[in-house]
Amino acid sequence: MGKIRINNMKFYTKNGVLPQERILGQQLEVDVELRLPLETAGKTDNVEDTVSYALVNDQIAQRLSNHSYNLIEAVASAILDDIEAAHGAVLESALVRVRKYSVPMPGIFDNVEIEMERAFK
């Protein structure tokens, strides 16, 4: 078993509960961890024997460019839906983290992050 990780993908989005979040927009960061057998790809050196992380990155970019959500939980769930639809037959599971930096609440903090994981088999 192996893992493919794509870390700190950055996307400018118009997500959020408050109207000003949807008007002004904000940057979200996304991490994805895909768990799957990688032994064959390691031996064949063929992208067809693994999951193309370039394709996964493109799918996430398309999702965040074409949809708006109130909650980052919904963002993570939609990303997992897309990953499952495209690669669920190959993957054991996937984990998604979504970070939001411009959170309209009092206090001193770096970001708010949610994490969701889904098993496919």
pLDDT band at 86, cuts 50/70/90?
Answer: very high
3 noted as active-site residue? no
pLDDT tens-digit map of 107-117: 988 999 999 99
Of 10, 43, 100, 121, catalytic:
100
28 inside domain = yes
114 inside domain = no
**Total of domains in the chain:** 1
121 inside domain = no
At 42, the amino acid letter reads G
119 inside domain = no
CATH of the domain at 56: 3.30.1130.10
111 inside domain = no
Whether the Cβ atoms of residue 38 and residue 32 lie closer than 8 Å to each other: no
Query: The tokens of 95 are what?
Result: 């984990």
72 inside domain = yes
Radius of gyration of the chain from Cα atoms?
16
pLDDT of residue 23: 78
Asked whether residue 21 carries a pLDDT value surpassing 80, the answer given is no
Domain of 92 in residue numbering reads as: 2-104
117 inside domain = no
Asked whether residue 14 carries a pLDDT value surpassing 90, the answer given is no
CA distance 32 to 34: 6
Rounded mean pLDDT of 51-77? 95
